[in-house]
């Protein structure tokens, strides 16, 4: 009796300090303004693309009408530059009234009426990265304000907080205030990336206790080179990052830039496959009003999304690197099932034929035989034994994205 009372007290106090929202059991999916729309606040000159409620409403409409919501993309996320330049008379943040005439509450109502969720942005420190008012001295008030507005996700940045040693205290404070609102708000932290930049050792146990997702590395830009440098960072740090990922907690390599200006269709497939392997949030930053069908199809590929959203939430690893070929594998929930991305990062101008021994895929099998589905080509290969090789042709800057099933179980599933 006493022992259970003590246990309850201990559990109670743990719950109050750690993030306690039940969210992000699988990597969150949605749309985030920053990479594509930046801090464009000039609605007079550029009404179609400026950071305004109209932009978020139009993206919400596209998410619903063009199949993204049905595929799982549910968050519509505002980034920097939404605020008025000062707080109001009660010290509350409020949205720039010209660009957001309905206020964030009105926008949240619209987003919710579409069955979607709204994300917002603030920063630890006195200013956002673009110099707008941030949460520095007002963490508690801002957490309450966001909850009152009906916000569902919060990204807390931090570039203007020069003393990065304070982040390991400040972010957990915000976690506590978010919990206290009683509203489940998915918490996205930029804290580890700033510690990394400042050479401060990162305590990922503490990060995972306080954040649902977190940025580890530099901002993505609209280039293949940027995508590759990010993939490389996650490979180099995989022994640290894989163990902290799991339901409720995911490393965030930043937004999907599929359908923007730079990636070819093959490169876009590669980003999509790699973000699925990494159990990364799938937050698109693109113009859904003008995206072309071949990019939309990549973003909506159900078999790829199923790998990303696998319930076990395991982050995959680079298991082989040989010249321009990398093999990445992620364990899936299904018994004996794996996803493997064979990535060709090279620019040799013809497809390369690769022949990879199955023992190098980083998979285990109990039955000894796999069936393999290429999820982009929608092609099936049958009866691969562990002592055999898998042969495939991969174009430059592209990927073969494979779902491996134990042959016997696949046959059973298909019946």
Active site residues: 157, 219
Nearest approach in angstroms of CB 30 to ligand GLA is 14
One of 28, 31, 34, 407 touching ligand GLA (CB under 6 A): 34
- How many helices and strands, by DSSP H and E, does the chain display? 15, 16
Could you tell me which stretch among 4-12, 128-136, 173-181, 259-267 binds ligand GLA (CB under 6 A)?
Answer: 128-136
Could you tell me which stretch among 125-133, 173-181, 194-202, 394-402 binds ligand GLA (CB under 6 A)?
Answer: 125-133
Nearest approach in angstroms of CB 157 to ligand GLA is 5
Could you tell me which stretch among 65-73, 98-106, 123-131, 244-252 binds ligand GLA (CB under 6 A)?
Answer: 123-131
Nearest approach in angstroms of CB 125 to ligand GLA is 12
User: Nearer Cβ to ligand GLA, position 79 or 266?
Assistant: 79
User: Nearer Cβ to ligand GLA, position 34 or 405?
Assistant: 34
Residue facing ligand GLA at closest CB distance: 129
Q: Tell me if 159 contacts ligand GLA by CB under 6 A.
A: yes
Q: Which of residues 348-407 bind ligand GLA (CB under 6 A)?
A: none
Nearest approach in angstroms of CB 190 to ligand GLA is 6
User: Nearer Cβ to ligand GLA, position 51 or 399?
Assistant: 51
What is the SS3 assignment for 353?
strand
Q: Tell me if 219 contacts ligand GLA by CB under 6 A.
A: yes
Contacts of 226 (CB under 8 A, 6+ apart): 220, 257
Give the per-residue SS3 of 298-345: HHCCHHHHHHHCCCCCCCCEEEEEECCEEEEEEECCCCCCEEEEEEEC
Q: Which of residues 6-25 bind ligand GLA (CB under 6 A)?
A: none
One-character DSSP codes across 89-129: TTS---B-TTT-TTHHHHHHHHHHHTT-EEEEEEESSSB-T
Angle subtended at Cα 22 by Cα 334 and Cα 63, rounded to the nearest 5 degrees: 75
Helix, strand and coil percent figures for the chain, each rounded to 5: 35, 20, 40
Q: Tell me if 287 contacts ligand GLA by CB under 6 A.
A: no
Tokens 């001295």 — which residue?
A: 137
User: Nearer Cβ to ligand GLA, position 200 or 409?
Assistant: 200
Distance between CA atoms of residues 160 and 277, nearest Å: 32
Q: Minimal CA–CA distance to 191: which of 168, 160, 212?
A: 168
Output b/e per residue, 75-97; b: 16+ Cβ within 10 A. bbbbbbbbbbeebeeeeebbbbe
One of 53, 74, 142, 157 touching ligand GLA (CB under 6 A): 157
Angle subtended at Cα 19 by Cα 17 and Cα 20, rounded to the nearest 5 degrees: 100
Q: Which of residues 52-111 bind ligand GLA (CB under 6 A)?
A: 79-80
Distance between CA atoms of residues 129 and 256, nearest Å: 21
Which two three-digit tokens encode residue 240? 């640290």
User: Nearer Cβ to ligand GLA, position 219 or 408?
Assistant: 219
Nearest approach in angstroms of CB 343 to ligand GLA is 24
Q: Which of residues 184-213 bind ligand GLA (CB under 6 A)?
A: 190
Residues that bind ligand GLA in the complex, under the rule CB under 6 A = 34, 79-80, 128-130, 157, 159, 190, 219
């Amino acid at each position: 009796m006493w022992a259970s009372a003590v246990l309850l007290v201990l559990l109670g106090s743990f719950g109050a300090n750690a993030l306690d929202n039940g969210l992000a059991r699988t990597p969150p999916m949605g749309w985030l303004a920053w990479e594509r729309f930046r801090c464009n606040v000039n609605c007079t000159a550029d009404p179609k693309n400026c950071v305004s409620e109209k932009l978020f409403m139009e993206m919400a409409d596209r998410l619903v009408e063009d199949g993204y919501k049905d595929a799982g993309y549910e968050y519509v996320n505002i980034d920097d530059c939404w605020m008025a330049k000062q707080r109001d008379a009660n010290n509350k943040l409020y949205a720039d009234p010209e660009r957001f005439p309905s206020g964030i509450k009105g926008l949240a109502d619209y987003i919710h009426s579409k069955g979607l969720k709204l994300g917002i942005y603030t920063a630890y420190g006195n200013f956002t990265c673009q110099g707008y008012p941030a949460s520095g001295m007002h963490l508690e008030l801002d957490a309450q304000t966001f909850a009152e507005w009906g916000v569902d996700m919060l990204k807390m940045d931090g570039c203007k907080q020069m003393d990065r040693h304070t982040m390991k205290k400040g972010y957990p404070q915000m976690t506590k205030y978010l919990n206290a609102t009683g509203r489940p708000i998915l918490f996205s932290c930029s804290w580890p990336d700033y510690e990394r930049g400042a050479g401060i050792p990162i305590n990922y146990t503490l990060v995972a206790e306080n954040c649902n997702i977190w940025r580890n590395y530099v901002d993505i830009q609209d280039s293949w080179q940027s995508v590759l440098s990010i993939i490389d960072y996650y490979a180099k740090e995989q022994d640290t990052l894989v163990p902290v990922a799991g339901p409720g907690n995911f490393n965030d390599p930043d937004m999907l830039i599929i359908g923007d200006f730079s990636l070819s269709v093959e490169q876009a497939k590669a980003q999509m496959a790699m973000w699925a392997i990494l159990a990364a949030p799938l937050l698109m930053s693109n113009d859904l009003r003008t995206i072309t069908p071949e990019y939309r199809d990549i973003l909506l590929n159900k078999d790829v999304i199923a790998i990303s959203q696998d319930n076990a939430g395991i982050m995959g690893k680079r298991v082989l690197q040989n010249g321009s070929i990398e093999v990445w594998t992620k364990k899936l929930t299904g018994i004996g099932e794996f996803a493997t991305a064979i990535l060709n990062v090279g620019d040799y101008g013809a497809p390369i034929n690769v022949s990879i021994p199955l023992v190098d895929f980083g998979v285990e099998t109990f039955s000894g035989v796999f069936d393999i589905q290429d999820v982009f080509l929608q092609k099936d290969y049958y009866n691969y034994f562990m002592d055999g090789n898998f042969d495939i042709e991969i174009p430059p800057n592209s990927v073969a994205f494979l779902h491996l099933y134990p042959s016997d179980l696949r046959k059973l599933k298909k019946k």
